[in-house]
Structure formats: C-alpha cells, structure tokens
Structure 1
C-alpha cells in the first residue's frame, strides 16, 4: 500500500534521507532518495520543495549537486494526516458541478420555451376562434 497523505510521505522521505546518510556516510542527493522510495524525479522535487518550505529538510550545495539534510523532523507533526485530494480530482469535481449547473440551465430554458410555445398556440387558437365566430 502506497501512502497518499503528506504526513506519512514526509516520514518516509526523512527516513530515506537518514538511511542513505548512514549507509553512504554523506547527505544524499535527491536522485538517491527518489531511487530508494521509487518516486519519480518530479514527485521527489515537489516533495523536497514542499518539505523545505515547512522547514523539515534543507539542502546543502555541494560540488556536483545539492544534498539533502534534515532540518527539523518535529515539523512533520504539523502536517495534515488525512489524504489530500489531487488537483485533478478537485478540477474534475468542479467541472462536473459546472456541467450539472449547465444542464439545469438548459432544462430551465427548454421549459420556458415549451411554455412560450403553448402560450403562443393558445393565443393563435383564440384568435382563430374569434375569426370563426365573426364569419
């Protein structure tokens, strides 16, 4: 089971940094952490930036690439523990809500048009009856 909540992912990320630091004897690069956790480079970069903003990890510039160090592991406890919905899911919900609203508008306009048509036919029928009575 792969965790989706930020809290659990932060714990995994920090644990991977610690394991790689212990194993290699130096702070790991982002590529090593992503390789250990089987994350894509994009996801790893996103998480690194997010955790850096929260003050959980920090990066140290080295000769070839940036190395990741743990800044404040207790800041993980401030993260939400529930599964957050992805932006795609949020956009899909918004789209469906907009589509439902549009369907309601179309149904309302159609009902108005039907009512206008019935009123028009009733008026024409009334005028025809009046003409027939005059003759």
Structure 2
C-alpha cells in the first residue's frame, strides 16, 4: 500500500485531478461533495482545501442552480507550492504547549531552589544565634 503524503503540493494535484476526472465523467464541473467523495475526504477537509486553493488561484467556483461547482483556474500555480510535509496546526500547538510547560517547569525548579537556599540560610542563622547564646553562658 502506498504511503500517504500530507504535503500541500500532492494534495493540490489530487484535488485538481479529481475535479478534472469528475468534469470529464459527468460532463459538468463537479460539486465539492462529489470531489470529496472521489478523494474519500470529509466535507470539512474538502471545504478547507477548496478555500485554500481558491486563495492560491488554483481552482475557482462557479455558481450553479443548487450549489457551487468547482473548476480549475490555474493548474500551474500548484508548482509554486512547497513539496515537503506541512506541519499541522495541532502539531504546532502541541509544540507551543510543551515549550510553555517546560518553561513553567524550569520556573518551578528555580523557585524550589530559592526556597531551599532560604531555608538553609535560615537554619544557618538560627544555628549561629544558638552558638552565640551558648558562648555567652
């Protein structure tokens, strides 16, 4: 089984290919639902990709009687996309969370070290005062 890639470049090629195949098969530009069905994507993912590719000028939508139809606008714009796997927002947020957690852990350790130092200083001061009282007697 081939490995699935998560890069925008490959996804754009798949999306445009599905639009072209469905346009050829049905004789009309496909709906988002048809493209998602062809690619086994959820409609949420398909909608996200459609909006992203519209922003990049790769595809466009045409108003139809009941729903919008997808057409290829500039397939060459795909070549400008990065070909490495995109880091998902979830992964980015997890990294930020871990960094924040590590910073908080370091702060807690620093505070504990300061408290231990204060405790040692306090004990040293008490011991010094006791020695002074013993020496006076």
Does the alignment reach a TM-score above 0.5? yes
Q: Does 2:110 match 1:105?
A: no
Distance in 1, Cα, partners of 2:101 & 2:70: 45
- Counterpart of 1:54? 56
The TM-score normalised by the length of structure 2 is 0.97
Residue 22, structure 1, aligned to residue 24, structure 2? yes
Query: What's the counterpart of residue 63 of structure 1?
Result: 65
Q: How far off is 1:2 after superposition? A: 2.2
The alignment partner of 2:78 has SS state of helix
TM-score normalised to the size of structure 1? Answer: 0.98
Partner Cα distance (2:105, 2:68) in 1 = 52
Q: Which residue of 2 aligns with 1:89?
A: 91
Give CA deviations for 1:12-70 in whole Å, capped at 9, x if unaligned. 00000000000000000000000000000000000000000000000000101000000
Q: Which runs of 4+ in 1 moved over 6 A?
A: none
Cα RMSD over matched residues? 0.6
Structure 2 stretches lacking a partner, 5+ long = none
Instruction: Give 5+ residue unaligned stretches, structure 1.
Output: none
Alignment length, in residue pairs? 135
* Residue equivalent to 1:33: 35
> How many angstroms does 1:3 deviate by?
2.2
> Aligned partners of 2:78 and 2:134: how far apart in 1?
87
The 2-side partners of 1:94 and 1:58 are apart by: 35
The whole-number CA distance in structure 2 between the counterparts of 1:97 and 1:49 is 31
Residue 133 in structure 1 maps to residue 135 in structure 2? yes
Matched, 1:5 2:14: no
